[in-house]
Chains A and B, each alone.
Chain A
């Protein structure tokens, strides 16, 4: 895996999350003539959210392909293309619809390298808009990363900033491993997080977490839009004299255990936050691993803050009720801090 290139801020311009993704796709398409993008409405329309806008004009209809509404064909054909030497980025119109291509992912794509004793690589990224807090209801709000974390062979990535979105997407495309790439749709056009993107061939290594805020009293581990909720919670706690560290995992599989462990060694307290349901969710995995690796450093039982074990309902008060709030995160922080 290539190392992080130092950003050349002098030449950079402010970009939002969506533009960062588009830039990553454009650069990788230019770099690799055997790479294609396929999905529903990615060409003529330029994607439901516009991530691929302009790419079909630039690369042609045979490289930016409008597919029939069949997630199984979108992903299954990518497996064949990869088998025959291509690199494929598959767009799910919403990540929720990935369920319709589930078999091709977990049984075919995820296991190919394994069952061929390493003969075959699967340079495929299945990416799409994800997440709640958006009034999207049951089928336009999901974070279903746990389904795939439980399927060995899949890398799972969930960036929270434009530059990570760019660097991680490029790294995932080049990694040669199949990747499920969660894009927080709420962040796509969020101008508050728009930033100067490093120019040049900017890659962010997979499996490396980022510390978004340093702290000494407790550690929040999270990813996706909950990063911003944890930063807000840390701000609130700081007002009460509690310094929380915020770790953005960025990559779930492979997991950067070392960064979390090192943090716990300093803070001795752990709160893990994810917006998916609690039972068998990724937060539980982090807690389990740290209960093992960091037991001797923990001064309080690790705590999870997650969605209730429910679907994501539509209307706002109900949606907010089931999803983790900043208050929930603050309270969990207080609970471990005061244990």
Chain B
């Protein structure tokens, strides 16, 4: 099968056209939720209430929201450092607070960020290296691309159990240079495992631009080398991401094997918040301004207005786009978004730091 045929089927309606108005408005709100998580954590750091590094997903929210929205509850994901909102947006559609959903709650995620005992890993590893098996979220290590073979194994096991899950992995474009990226996708292709590898191409890997990372126009071409479909999405357009990921997911769910979806986006700030100042030096200002112009919230807003899902008046509310965290206030976000995060943070602050002795626990399963 050639790389791009999946999305080029004759007379095939793009999946997002089947979404209801309510779905589209929920997607819009989830973009705010992802953005607010990012700006709020930066503010918490500036206030001195929080330590650690935030690898901002500001301007990349459409990739996270759009790719998660169409998944089944039972699907698995493996978000990494750039995808913090993905942890609490899995299976969150219309039920952010539902304790029975298969995903992590904002309380768990905030507990993790604040290093508290109510994080599923009891704060043993930092920020983005979380997960919870019962939430169908794979725990990453720092080693880039290292979750793809794990995702393939999860998919294999699901098939052994007679399941129908798809496993979606997230990776920066820089991490595609790792040997394990190739090894894992090749394996998944041979065994036709339902693994969708999302490449969040934000044009930079820390201080290294794409032309020094790989020599390709589109990662779809790399998919050709594995004999699997490769799709390219406009990573700023949440509905295009939704469409391409849904194509890939349906393909996998039908038993056809893995695929690669490249989402073209742009890293708006430093690699991590520690790098904001240096990034201003190594990245040409013009390119950065250009890259920030296509804000995913603005693009979604324009579409909803165009489709008549937002009135002119409604579309004028909550202008979070085009601003850095310092310029953003709570009034730029729907109150329920702010409220949701407040709940998470309050919960985390009340959660105890794990006792020191836990450092020595759980090296092995205890044998009684």
Contacts and interface: CB of A to CB of B under 8 A. Distances in A.
Contact of A318 (B177, B212, B354): B354
A318 B76 CA distance: 30
Interface string B331-365: 00000000000000000000001111111100100
Contact of B357 (A69, A97, A321): A321
Contacts of B25: none
Contacts of A73: 177
B207 interface: yes
Question: Which of A96, A97, A308, A317 has the largest count of B CB atoms less than 10 A from its CB?
Answer: A317
B284 to A, nearest CB: 11
A280 to B, nearest CB: 15
B329 to A, nearest CB: 31
B115 A40 contact: no
Contacts of B179: 70, 72, 100
B213 interface: yes
A68 B354 contact: no
A309 interface: yes
A40 B172 CA distance: 14
Contacts of A66: 207-208, 212
A69 B178 contact: yes
Given A68-B213, A100-B143, A315 B177 contact: no
A195 B81 CA distance: 37
B306 interface: no
Interface string B141-173: 111100000000000000000000000000000
Contacts of A86: none
A70 to B, nearest CB: 4
Interface string B196-240: 000000000111110011100000000000000000000000000
B123 interface: yes
Given A66-B208, A314-B123, A318-B359, A137 B129 contact: yes
Interface string A84-115: 00000000011011011000000000000000
A18 to B, nearest CB: 15
A255 interface: no
Contact of A70 (B52, B178, B207, B353): B178
A41 interface: yes
How large, as a class, is the contact surface on chain A? 35 or more
A46 B353 CA distance: 36
Given A97-B143, A99-B143, A317-B355, A45 B278 contact: yes
Contacts of B125: 137-139, 313-314
A148 to B, nearest CB: 18
B177 A69 contact: yes
B141 A139 contact: yes
Contacts of B51: 135
B94 interface: no
A97 B178 CA distance: 11
A322 B175 contact: no
Contacts of B296: none
Q: Is the interface of A mostly helix, strand, loop or mixed?
A: loop
B353 A317 contact: yes
Interface string A59-77: 0000000111110110000
B364 to A, nearest CB: 10
A41 B359 CA distance: 33
B175 A69 contact: yes
Contacts of B178: 69-70, 100
Given A40-B206, A73-B177, A137-B129, A318 B213 contact: no
B174 A68 contact: yes
Contacts of A45: 206-208, 278, 282
A170 interface: no
Nearest to A277: B363
B7 interface: no
B328 interface: no
Contact of B360 (A41, A44, A321): A321
B206 A68 contact: no
Contacts of A308: 359-360
Interface string B44-68: 0000000110000000000000000
Given A44-B282, A45-B278, A73-B177, A319 B206 contact: no
Interface in A122-178: 135-140
B208 A313 contact: no
Nearest to B112: A314
A310 interface: yes
A48 interface: yes
B124 interface: yes
B359 A319 contact: yes
B186 interface: no
Contacts of B142: 94, 96-97, 138-140
Contacts of B124: 137-138, 311, 313-315, 318
A216 interface: no
A310 B124 CA distance: 11
A69 B213 contact: yes
B126 interface: yes
A186 B205 CA distance: 24
Residue among A136, A309, A310 facing the most chain B CB atoms (10 A cut-off): A310
Given A41-B206, A45-B208, 5 more contacts: A41-B207, A70-B177, A100-B180, A315-B353, A318-B359
Interface of A: 40-41, 44-46, 48, 66-70, 72-73, 93-94, 96-97, 99-100, 135-140, 308-311, 313-315, 317-322
15 contacts: A40-B205, A40-B206, A41-B207, A45-B206, A66-B208, A66-B212, A68-B213, A138-B124, A138-B129, A309-B363, A310-B360, A314-B115, A317-B359, A318-B359, A320-B356
